[in-house]
Amino acid sequence: MNRISRFSIIFAGFSVIAVAGPVACERVPLLAPTGTVINLTLASDVAALNSSVDVIAVLIENGGASGTGTGTASSTTGAGTPVQNGTTVSFTTTIGTIEPSEAKTQNGRVNVKLVTNGQSGKATVTAFSGGAKATGQITIGAAAVDHILVTAAPANLASSGGSTTISARAEDASGNGQAGVQVQFTTTKGTLNPAAATTNSNGVATTSLSTTTAADVTAAVGSKTAKVTIGVATRATVSIAGPTSTISVSAPAAFTVNVGTTVPVTNVVVNYGDGGSVNLGQISGSQTVQHFYAHDDVYTASVSATDPDGVVATAQTQVAVVRISATVAMSSVASGGTFPKSSTGTVTFSSTSSSASIDRYEWDFGDGSAVVTSFGPSQSHNYTAAGNYTVSVRIVPSNGSAFTATTQVVVPS
């Protein structure tokens, strides 16, 4: 208040003395008179973190209260009259701040804002002027979340697994997204990145799941939770079984390939481990194939099959391959006992080899006669002179190196 000069008149006897001097006084805020009612309205029941909500107070002399402090405000309330313009109203809040914390009425009404921070909870807002007072409540942040909606894109992964984006929308009871709320994510399988995220202006928080198997992802805000299931396509299965014992070079090695019936497969390929392979194409159930090994060794045979997602399933087995073994036996075609005899004659030689596939037999009878080729394991020869002879048979398999077996023949004089 401006300083003014005040004259004091002092009567003393017949003299009048005028004393002039500056006197200071402060303006007192104009407050609501007795009997005033404050009707306090918050523009919303809920508020996001780090946001603002309009707060409206209407002061009525000899008025009546009109509600619970939330909802849309009215410019006048009750049967009384608005308080004098310029009446000061003060505000407080238990969470956040009121800006401004004091305001002056115009036609009985003031408008301020509740500005929230990063704190969640239920805030109590109070307006007061003189002896009049009113309160209202508003739910802020995570406390305002009524439910969560969780989705995955894509919701189903290929049989090899992969990554999917998980989105969680935190909503209040009216379906409004709540911004600035932290959402915690957990999964039954795979890994999440990040494990916690803050909702954006639309109330949505996202994370990424990487998994090779089906998983359930749960999003939580306080006690509110929601879950989404991510599926992974069934994988194709394939197996291969080979000989259970050793086999010889050029003997038929049988392999049984089996594919599962749940998932169709294509391009089934068997690799025998020695550079040989066969493409069976699209098969179902079991199929048996044979292979002839040319050299002795331990081989790893494998099978591969491609599922509809392009994922390749594989399996393998081992097989031991040994060299060809053979013996040569002889018998006389002449009557009267076992060769050698006391005379020359015709002798039949028989070669007994392993189960190898034989292309031909090359016989050398050791007496200077020509080598004889046969396609069976037996051959006869007539010796015309006495002597000791080394008989050899060179066994040539269909695959691999030849093997030679020998025996001794004594033709007595």
Q: Are residues 109 and 167 in the same domain?
A: no
Q: Are residues 64 and 98 in the same domain?
A: yes
Q: What's 315's domain CATH number?
A: 2.60.40.10
Q: Are residues 158 and 133 in the same domain?
A: no
**Structural Rg of the chain based on CA atoms:** 52
3-state helix, strand, coil in the chain (%, to 5): 0, 60, 40
Here the tokens at position 250 are: 């050029």
Q: Are residues 77 and 137 in the same domain?
A: yes
Predicted local confidence at residue 310, as pLDDT: 86
- Please provide the size of the chain in residues: 413
Residue 284 lies in a domain: yes
Predicted local confidence at residue 343, as pLDDT: 47
- Range(s) of the domain holding residue 286: 238-322
Residue 87 lies in a domain: yes
Predicted local confidence at residue 294, as pLDDT: 87
Q: Are residues 102 and 116 in the same domain?
A: yes
Predicted local confidence at residue 177, as pLDDT: 92
Residue 23 lies in a domain: no
The amino acid that residue 127 corresponds to is A
Predicted local confidence at residue 337, as pLDDT: 33
Q: Are residues 272 and 358 in the same domain?
A: no
DSSP state for residue 70 in the 8-state scheme: B
Residue 82 lies in a domain: yes
Question: Which residues have a Cβ under 8 Å from the Cβ of 298 and sit 6 or more positions away?
Answer: 318, 319, 320, 321
Cβ count within 10 A of residue 332: 16
DSSP notation for 20-40: EEEE--PPPPP-PPTTEEEEE
Question: Which residues have a Cβ under 8 Å from the Cβ of 13 and sit 6 or more positions away?
Answer: none
Note whether 321 and 246 are within 8 A (CB): yes
Q: Are residues 43 and 131 in the same domain?
A: yes
Residue 183 lies in a domain: yes
Note whether 55 and 44 are within 8 A (CB): no
Across the chain, how many H-helices and E-strands are there?
0, 36
Q: Are strands 204-211 and 162-171 parallel, antiparallel or unpaired?
A: antiparallel
Q: Are residues 48 and 122 in the same domain?
A: yes
- Give the domain-ending residue among 141, 162, 189: 141
Q: Are residues 181 and 271 in the same domain?
A: no
Tokens 């194409």, residue?
281
Residue 19 lies in a domain: no
Residue 12 lies in a domain: no
Q: Which helix (H) or strand (E) holds 187?
A: strand 182-187
Predicted local confidence at residue 138, as pLDDT: 94
Residue 13 lies in a domain: no
Note whether 307 and 329 are within 8 A (CB): no
Spatial distance between the Cα atoms of 80 and 58, rounded to a whole number of angstroms: 11
Spatial distance between the Cα atoms of 137 and 68, rounded to a whole number of angstroms: 9
Spatial distance between the Cα atoms of 263 and 256, rounded to a whole number of angstroms: 19
Q: Are residues 344 and 305 in the same domain?
A: no
Predicted local confidence at residue 1, as pLDDT: 38
Predicted local confidence at residue 109, as pLDDT: 97
Predicted local confidence at residue 2, as pLDDT: 39
Predicted local confidence at residue 48, as pLDDT: 85
- Give the domain-ending residue among 199, 232, 265: 232
Predicted local confidence at residue 277, as pLDDT: 95
- The pTM of the whole model exceeds 0.85: no
Question: Which residues have a Cβ under 8 Å from the Cβ of 367 and sit 6 or more positions away?
Answer: 383, 385, 387, 389
The count of structural domains within the chain is 4
Q: Are residues 190 and 286 in the same domain?
A: no
Phi-psi region of 137 (alpha: psi -120 to 50; beta: other; left: phi over 0): beta
Run means of pLDDT, 10 residues per run, the chain, 413 residues: 36 41 64 94 90 95 60 48 95 96 96 93 95 94 93 93 96 91 96 95 96 96 95 91 90 92 89 95 92 92 91 93 81 46 63 77 91 89 84 86 83 73
Q: Are residues 206 and 249 in the same domain?
A: no
Spatial distance between the Cα atoms of 247 and 344, rounded to a whole number of angstroms: 40
CA dihedral 373, 375, 380, 385 (to 10 degrees): 10
- Give the domain-ending residue among 123, 141, 159: 141
